[in-house]
Structure formats: structure tokens, C-alpha cells
Amino acid sequence: MRQKRFLLPTTELPTHWYNIQAEMATKPLPLLNPQTHKPIQAEDLFPLFSREASRQEVNQTDVWIEIPDEVRQLYSNYRTTPLVRAYALEEALDTPAHIYFKNESVSPVGSHKLNSAIPQAYYCKKEGITNVTTETGAGQWGTALAYACKLFGLECAVYQVKLSYEQKPYRRGMMQVFGAQVTPSPSMSTRAGKDILTVDPHNNGSLGTAISEAVELARTTPNCRYTLGSVLNHVSLHQTVIGLEAEKQMELAGEYPDIVVACFGGGSNFSGIAFPFMRHTINGGRKTRFIAVEPTSCPKLTRGRFAYDFGDEAGYTPLIPMYTLGHKFQPASIHAGGLRYHGAGPIVSQLMRNNMMEAVDIGQLESFRAGLMFARTEGIVPAPESCHAIAETIRLAKECRETGEEKVILFNLSGHGMLDIGAYDQFMSHTLSDEYPSDEDLLPPSDDILLI
């Protein structure tokens, strides 16, 4: 091996999250009440989320929001996370590019999701809430929330997309290890679930449906709130610890990224790694490319439409201004369950419209090929979601090989794939395929959404 692989030294944990909303030239549009079409205020969200998360959701004025001490203490059990120079991958690609990755897979639950699960559970506990509900796709968010709830002594009920419940039994087991009650969605336990199952008994579920069920349970259970692991502004806010640490660590390495890459489900890990660097583009005129990578099977940023749409299948949530494929969209059964969501968060959607970032879509096969290459060089099996970021990084590094440019590429390794070996097995035995939905599959019927 040419050079010794090194881990950059850890730095101080951030004391504040970065609220990019406060610094955006054109701010995200407000959430709307679906009945009155009036902008949602924090108080309107109190019955759904913790009060503090609700206030953070609509906060467009405070640039920095303090991380509570209790949350920082729990962060310090696994943060700061390593920033790694991927020398072995660079060598295998024979590229002059410098490739760095921020390794969020070292969290106790194996993904970045714990960064938001901890504060969300903390605020619920502090406000006297006893029960928490949520949805989960691949199970990463459900696992993170189950553990966070255990830390604070909260009851946790998780609706898991049925496809993932069956594809990833170990993830369900892990949520149960942490004491959560897990129900495959759609289920007969809610009206939203029944409405689907009575028409289509073999429905595989979607994140949109699981959200409807979790919201319905929260609304009909006393002292219970709903939590979400992606999409929303307060979730993106919590994830900025990733980029704030990475910024300091890149400084220690004496470099600054030319390109920042992350996979894209609803936007939380992308926001987390990108926003603290985007701050320097907004305030200091830095020229950095920010690339969100979505799966070809669920391409809301590259092929969706900007509109007001519901965050869930049944239409219980406020209307969200976002790039969307329509809340009734049923994505193909790819293994990157965390990327199977119909919409993109309001902040990221606005940043796309402000030309602050780019998006690409990548097929399942290319992403797993990239995942294998990464595993065989860097020794970490990446989550199928994270494989999408790696695949784009490899494309960029190959471009550098052609042009001879020594670009600095930073990507976020959002999670590990130790519980996704079944998916790798299928890839290696050539039983997986790519999914390219047609335009007709993608375009939401216009009575489903509210065009802006």
C-alpha cells in the first residue's frame, strides 16, 4: 500500500446546531394547513411533535441553536465520528482525487439517524410525553428511535414498511432488542392501514403509508407524540453535527472539499454533511458543489415536481412545499429502503430551486457495485443507501482520472450494511435488477398535489 491509512483526530463536539434557514437568501415556503391553506405556526404542530421540535421546525431567524447538555453528553458516547481519507479506494481507482468520508456508521445503531433520535426523544421526555410513535423503512430510524426512547424511559411504537419488515428481519429484531413494539405496515390497527388492506391485501407498504399509521396512533393515544427521522427541518438541523465536525476535521487535514456528496432519502444526512459547508458558499463565496444522490426508482429531485404535497399516504400531515412524486407513489422494491420516500425536505427543495445544489439518480446495480468496491478497499460494508453516495463519488473520481484534476471529494457514509448482507448476497448472485420508472409512473395526478 502506498500510504498509511489515517484517521483524522477527533475534535470538540459542536455546542450548537446550524440552522441554514436563517441564512438562506430565499427561504423555504411555510408548511400549510391542508384545510385552510394558511401557513402553519409552531403551535399548530404541538399536538403532533414535541413543542421544541415544532418551534425548531418553523425557526427562520436563529442561525445557531444550542444543543442541550444532556444531548451533548449522549452524543459524546459515539461522537465525534471519524473523518477518514480513503487512500485504498483512491489507489484502486488510480485517481488523483482526494477522497474523504465522514463515518456515521460508528454510531451504536449503525447510522446517522441517532443524531436526531436523541434530541427528539429528549424533548418529548422533558415535556412530559410518555409514548412515542414513528415509521421506519429499512429500520435504521426505528432502531435509532427505539434506543433513544430506552435511554429516556419512553414507550416506542414503530410501524415498519412491510417490504422491509420481511426483507430485513434482523432490523426488526434489533428494534425489539431495544424494547420497541414493531408492527408491519400497512396494518389493520389503524384506519389508514385498513383502507389500503381492504382494497389491496398484498400491499408491500411505503414510508408514506407507515407515516399515516404512526401519525394516526399518535393522534388517538393520550400523551403520545409522533417523530420523524428525515424530511423535516428540525431533523436536518440536528444532523448538522455531522458537517460541523467534518468542517473542523477537514481543517486539520489542511483541505476544503470541492465536492460534497451524500445519498438522498428525505434529505437528513445530505443536510447534515452539506449545510455547514454551504454556509461558506452563502457567506464567503466559496465555490463548492453539493450533490444529492437518489435511486433511479425514487427520483423526486431529478424527475419530481415542486408542489405542496402531503408527507404521508393518507393525507394527515400538513402540506409540505417539496419536490415530490406524489404521496400515493409506490416505489419499487429496492434494498435501499431508506431512500424509498416520495418527497424531499422543504429546505433542500428550496436550495434546489435556488441553484445551491445538484442531484443525480443512480441505479441499484451500480450502487451495489460501488458498495462492494468500497468494502473490498476500505473494509467497511456500507448500507445500501450509502452505496449511492459511494457510486457518485467513484464516478467523480474517475472523471478526475481523465482530467488529471486533484479534486477534494467528501462524502457521508450514512450507515453500515452489516444487517444488509442478504441484499449483497442477492447482488452477488445476480438476482437484483435496476428499476427505471416511466414518466407516467412518476407524475403525480394533479388532484393529488397543489401546484405552486
Catalog residues that contact ligand PLP under the rule CB under 6 A. 111, 113, 140-141, 230, 263-270, 338-339, 383, 385-386, 414-415
Q: How far is the CB of 326 from ligand PLP (least distance, A)?
A: 18
Confirm if 266 and 344 have CB atoms less than 8 A apart: yes
If the CB atoms of residues 120 and 269 are measured against ligand PLP, the closer one turns out to be: 269
Query: Considering beta carbons, is residue 307 or 347 the nearer one to ligand PLP?
Result: 347
Nearest residue (CB) to ligand PLP, 114 versus 129? 114
Cα 225 vs. chain centroid, distance in angstroms?
20
Phi, psi angles (nearest 5°) of residue 394: -65, -40
Indicate the helix (H) or strand (E) that contains 375: helix 364-378
Minimum distance from residue 132 beta carbon to ligand PLP (Å): 18
Q: Which of residues 400 and 413 has its CB atom nearest to ligand PLP in the complex?
A: 413
Q: What is the spatial distance between Cα 386 and Cα 100, in angstroms, rounded to a whole number?
A: 14
CB-wise, 56 or 268, nearer to ligand PLP?
268
Q: DSSP characters for 128-158?
A: T--EEEEEESSSHHHHHHHHHHHHHT-EEEE
Q: Verify cis geometry, omega within 30 degrees of 0, for the bond prior to 221.
A: no
Cβ 217 to ligand PLP, closest distance in Å?
21
Comparison of 129 and 415: residue with beta carbon closer to ligand PLP: 415
Q: Which is nearer to ligand PLP, 100 or 411 (CB)?
A: 411
Which of 301, 274, 270 lies closest to 286, judged by CA? 274
Closest contact distance (angstroms) between CB of 241 and ligand PLP is 14
Give the whole-angstrom CA distance, residue 180 versus residue 334.
25
In the complex, minimum distance from the CB of residue 301 to ligand PLP, in angstroms, rounded to a whole number: 11
404 grid coordinates: 488529471
Give residues with Cβ within 8 angstroms of 115, minimum separation 6: 75, 104, 107, 238, 239, 241, 242, 272
Cα dihedral 125, 130, 136, 142 in deg (nearest 10)? 60
CB of 269 to ligand PLP, least distance (A): 3
**C-alpha 244: how far from chain center:** 17
Residue 82: CB minimum distance to ligand PLP, A: 16
Burial readout 113-137 (b: 16 or more C-beta within 10 A, e: otherwise): bbbbbbbbbbbbbeeebebbbbbbb
Smallest gap from residue 386 Cβ to ligand PLP (A) = 6
Residue 233 CA: distances (Å) to CA of 17, 53, 228, 230, 257: 12, 9, 10, 8, 24
**Of 257 and 343, CB closest to ligand PLP:** 343
